[in-house]
Amino acid sequence: MRRVKAGFSRFLDRPATVDISRYEELLSSIEWREKKVGELSDEELTEAAAELRRTAGDPGFDEKELVELCAVGREAARRALSERPYDVQLLGTMQLLEGHVVQMATGEGKTLAGALAAAGYALQGHAVHVMSVNDYLAQRDAEWMGPVYEALGVTVGWVSQTSSQEERRAAYAADVTYGSVSEIGFDVLRDRLCTSVDDMVGRKPDVVIVDEADSVLIDEAKVPLVLAGSSDEGQSDPEVAKIVRALKPGQHYEKDEDGRNAWLTARGAKVVEKALGGVDLYSGDHSDRLAAVNAALHAHALLERDVDYIVRDGKVHLINSSRGRIALRQRWPDGLQAAVEAKERLRPTESGEVLDSISVQGLISRYATVCGMTGTAVAVSEQLREFYELRVAVIPPNTPCVREDEVDRLYDTVENKETAIVEEIAKTHKTGRPILIGTRDVAESERLAKMLADAEVECVVLNAKNDAQEAAIVAEAGAYDAVTVSTQMAGRGTDIRLGGKENGGAEAHDKVAELGGLLVIGTGRYPSSRLDDQLRGRSGRQGDPGGSIMFASLGDDQVIQYAPDATAGAEPDDDDIGRLVDATTKRFIDHAQKVSEGVQLEIHRNTWRYTRLIEHQRKVLLEYRDELLTTDLAATTLASQAEERWAELTESVDDEKVLEEAARQLMLFHLDQRWTEHLAFLADVRETIHLRALAKETPIDEFHRTAIPEFRKIPDEITDRAVETFATVEITADGIDLAADGLRRPSATWTYMVHDNPFDTDAEQALQRVRAMVKKVKGAARR
């Protein structure tokens, strides 16, 4: 009864969470059954798991089956990994099997809990995808949990950016497939462009378990996955880049306070026009030069090397701000990409066009069953319910957390803050206590590393420039005397053990524990308090001692952007230069972070508002495409729309099946091309839709009013274009030669980094809305 009351109390304390007390009551039955299962041979254990297999139906186990799965899974893990899952891990497994998002603290064993749930779904006859934030975690977890799956008679595979077509097909054919959200998403997009069923790698989506669920479902959801195809070599303009490079802020151009837009002043426009030979930038004849100047100005004034991107091997590599890693095979829309390459004096890469896109919500909505796990789900429980209809199950820690989280240390300037950070690190380092420093970008991590070197403190740096070594670096962050400087820690995945991994052991662990365990230091507030919590959670795993200190200043970018009127309410501390201890300063910094969170939420909502219609239109068109791909619809259509040409070709081509295939390829080409054009049209509409607000019209309503009629034209236009091409294209016994008729498919694909599109006003609109709400609340409070 006491356990039931405790569970019910937890349920009441957390909105949008579920009561787990009924499952806690199953733990004693699992332990009893575990003793019997432990007597089985390895073969008998696999057979016991096989008895749970059934033909796919509705997911869900009854209580007897849950007990059996957890007992068999626990024994399989004990034999395969020498790890007996804790009760809390089994609670996590059971909640995943109920279709919830499970919150488990860092170091509590989410990976194993997720693997047992994936095996459970697979034994029910379902195809399971375990979706993570990056390729490294996907491969690591698939290989690490592989022996457990094998013991349970379940097959497992993984996909990564280096996987070949055959490797992908084999991975998706397994019972359980691990992959990053982007890699799985892009495989979906690439399958949508296949012209033969045999070329597709995936299969019908069924069950997805999302690791780091808040990062994938909330943070990553602001960025639609966009597949682009190569066409010609990019057109950068070195002349314009050189001109813009010489412009001075305040004199020749201005930036808005949020650092999202830049524009020429009247004086700057005259300078640029003169340098370009006396052109009038604002005449219709030179609109292309104006576009090039605007892109070059954005690249010069708003995009910072080692913050927004790095240069490696003669190429620009974008940095994913939410992960602190290189965003592989991603780029900005072509004008901006070329401008950044010209800024860095690099050879332009190929340009291209958007072929297809899918939002994270669209990707996740394809699955019949969705569940997930993370260490910080409660903070976004309402968003998980709003966007995905998911509820959160909070799993208590196996051992209570004893980490000591200090009150934030606040400073007047960035310089004084960083000086204080280095002094704290140097002081702590002398004791041998390991320190993990979480920074916000590459530039800050390298600046801090240099300051530490000047202070004679040796450190290891983990950022987007060396993320290939991340596992080894993070694994040793808990070793005696270690100082590790890292960008975003969310999704790093590797467990930090006191004493380190290489030379770890009870003695090494105890030595570090006596010093207070791992000390985590944050160099500033992240855009979300969840990310702060994820950084803190790297310390104090499984009841280990640990500590955290968060530093911030009134000069931090986030405060300047979202609380521009912030001023200190008291004089800095004389003994600690620049330190502010008044309540007003903390309120300013808290306010800036809350506004940032509000802006991110509004951007997420905006992304979904606009992409929901696109997802629906794509679904309708995909049904038509699948029919073209798998039936003789294309041949029937062309035979009825171009009777004479069809009859003529029937006589000249021996095998009417080459002819049917030719019709299929022709219709598919024009369908894909027309969809590409539709996406480009919608992008143009959305770039200017905010102007409708000036006329008191709702932008999203206007977007729908424009997009729907345009979409309705597509089916007839596909047929008309196909008939027109069919009249002239060469079709022989070898097939159809579309290229000879000037119809070429892209030879390569990449992805676009669209969330930083300088021509998109979502972020600005979101910021204005959040600020308006804050003012409204303040006004009401005064009244």
Q: Is the pLDDT of residue 194 over 60?
A: yes
Task: Give CA–CA dist 141/293, Å, rounded.
Answer: 47
Look at residue 485 in the predicted model and tell me its pLDDT. Answer: 92
Task: Give CA–CA dist 517/510, Å, rounded.
Answer: 9
Q: Is the pLDDT of residue 465 over 70?
A: no
Q: Does the pTM exceed 0.75?
A: yes
Q: Are 671 and 621 in contact (CB under 8 A)?
A: yes
Task: Give CA–CA dist 184/196, Å, rounded.
Answer: 19
Q: Which of 117-131, 302-316, 330-344, 542-556 has the lowest mean pLDDT?
A: 330-344
Q: Please, which pLDDT band fits residue 288 given cuts at 50, 70 and 90?
A: confident
Contacts (Cβ under 8 Å, ≥6 apart) of 12: none
Could you report the per-residue pLDDT of 420-437, keeping only the tens digit for each?
999 999 999 999 999 999
Look at residue 289 in the predicted model and tell me its pLDDT. Answer: 81
Q: Is the pLDDT of residue 759 over 50?
A: no
Q: Are 332 and 340 in contact (CB under 8 A)?
A: yes
Number of helices followed by number of strands (H, E) in the chain: 30, 26
Other residues' Cβ atoms within 10 Å of the Cβ of residue 277: 8
Task: Give CA–CA dist 568/588, Å, rounded.
Answer: 9
Q: What percent of the chain has pLDDT over 90?
A: 53
Look at residue 5 in the predicted model and tell me its pLDDT. Answer: 37
**Terminal alpha carbon distance of the chain:** 48
Look at residue 692 in the predicted model and tell me its pLDDT. Answer: 61
Q: Which of 186-195, 595-604, 663-672, 731-740 has the lowest mean pLDDT?
A: 731-740
Look at residue 735 in the predicted model and tell me its pLDDT. Answer: 80
Could you report the per-residue pLDDT of 705-736, keeping only the tens digit for each?
999 999 999 999 999 999 999 988 888 777 88
Q: Are 771 and 596 in contact (CB under 8 A)?
A: no
Could you report the per-residue pLDDT of 655-701, keeping only the tens digit for each?
778 789 999 999 999 999 999 999 988 887 876 676 665 566 788 88
Look at residue 718 in the predicted model and tell me its pLDDT. Answer: 96
* DSSP letter string, 552-597: EETTSHHHHHH-TT---SSPPPSSSTTEE--HHHHHHHHHHHHHHH
The mean per-residue pLDDT over the stretch 126-142 comes to 92
Mean pLDDT of the chain: 85
How far is CA 152 from each of CA 40, 73, 80, 114, 672, rounded to the nearest angstrom? 13, 7, 10, 14, 43
The mean per-residue pLDDT over the stretch 413-420 comes to 95
| Sign (positive or negative) of CA dihedral 181, 187, 190, 195 | negative
Task: Give CA–CA dist 485/498, Å, rounded.
Answer: 17
Contacts (Cβ under 8 Å, ≥6 apart) of 739: none
Q: Are 710 and 188 in contact (CB under 8 A)?
A: no
Q: Which of 229-233, 423-427, 588-592, 751-755 has the lowest mean pLDDT?
A: 751-755
Q: Radius of gyration over alpha carbons of the chain, in Å? A: 29
How far is CA 362 from each of CA 354, 357, 383, 607, 632, rounded to the nearest angstrom? 17, 10, 16, 11, 29
| Sign (positive or negative) of CA dihedral 734, 740, 743, 744 | positive
Could you report the per-residue pLDDT of 216-230, keeping only the tens digit for each?
999 888 878 888 776
Could you report the per-residue pLDDT of 1-53, keeping only the tens digit for each?
334 333 433 434 445 579 999 999 999 999 999 999 999 999 999 999 999 98
Q: Please, which pLDDT band fits residue 599 given cuts at 50, 70 and 90?
A: confident
